[in-house]
């Protein structure tokens, strides 16, 4: 039995338990969940569609060249792209797998995914509003640096 199957069974059982305890709260929670899902769905489909299109259009040789582990400037460029891209983790990790299958280097993919998760150039204005400019800049610069270190370590270890 796969992990996903177990996860669905556990979720269903917990939903049934919640339903048996308080139907009204469970209905309210399901409505909130459905609203969140329906708001997120167009973005998810757009990202997955764009990902599929890019992987279908770009030949593996181009992906190997762009996501090469051979040059520090290339790794920095891939990391910068990851820093300005806004993508949820549940889309980013399958993308990483697709890039690796297409021949991308482990170091480059690790740098890309790590900056994608740790650096937020797109979200910086909102973060500055709540946490201030010094904190946001420090967090993003440190995140970028650590992402490069993590990518290089992944390239050595994997």
Number of domains observed in the structure of the chain: 2
Residues 82 and 34 in one domain: no
Residues 66 and 127 in one domain: yes
Residues 78 and 29 in one domain: no
Residues 65 and 47 in one domain: no
- Which pLDDT score is estimated for 56? 80
Residues 71 and 104 in one domain: yes
Q: What would the DSSP string read from start to end of 19-60?
A: HHH-HHHHHHHHHHHHHHHHHHHHHHHHHHHHHHHHHHHS-H
Residue 30 has pLDDT above 80, yes or no: yes
- Which pLDDT score is estimated for 17? 95
Residues 69 and 96 in one domain: yes
The percentage of residues in the chain with a pLDDT greater than 90, rounded to a whole number, is 49
Residue 50 has pLDDT above 80, yes or no: no
Range of the domain at 7: 1-51
- Which pLDDT score is estimated for 132? 95
- Backbone conformation region of residue 103, classed left if phi is above 0, alpha if psi is from -120 to 50, else beta: left
Residues 62 and 44 in one domain: no
Residue 47 has pLDDT above 80, yes or no: no
Residues 40 and 110 in one domain: no
Q: What is the pLDDT of residues 111-124, one digit of tens each?
A: 999 999 999 898 89
At residue 12 the predicted structure's pLDDT band, cuts being 50, 70 and 90, is very high
Residues 66 and 45 in one domain: no
Mean pLDDT over 94-99 rounds to 86
Residues 10 and 30 in one domain: yes
At residue 85 the predicted structure's pLDDT band, cuts being 50, 70 and 90, is confident
Residues 145 and 79 in one domain: yes
Residues 155 and 98 in one domain: yes
């Amino acid at each position: 039995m796969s992990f996903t199957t177990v996860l669905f069974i556990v979720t269903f059982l917990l939903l049934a338990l919640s339903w048996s305890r308080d139907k009204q709260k469970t209905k309210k929670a399901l409505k909130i969940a459905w609203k969140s899902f329906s708001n997120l769905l167009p973005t998810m489909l757009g990202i997955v569609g764009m990902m599929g299109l890019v992987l279908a259009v770009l030949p593996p040789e181009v992906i190997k060249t762009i996501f090469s582990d051979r040059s520090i400037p290339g790794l920095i460029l891939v990391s910068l792209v990851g820093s300005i891209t806004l993508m949820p983790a549940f889309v980013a990790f399958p993308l990483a797998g697709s890039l690796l299958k297409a021949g991308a280097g482990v170091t480059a993919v690790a740098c890309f995914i790590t900056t994608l998760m740790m650096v937020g150039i797109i979200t910086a204005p909102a973060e500055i509003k709540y946490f201030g400019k010094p904190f946001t800049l420090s967090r993003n610069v440190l995140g970028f640096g650590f992402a490069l270190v993590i990518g290089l370590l992944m390239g050595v270890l994997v």
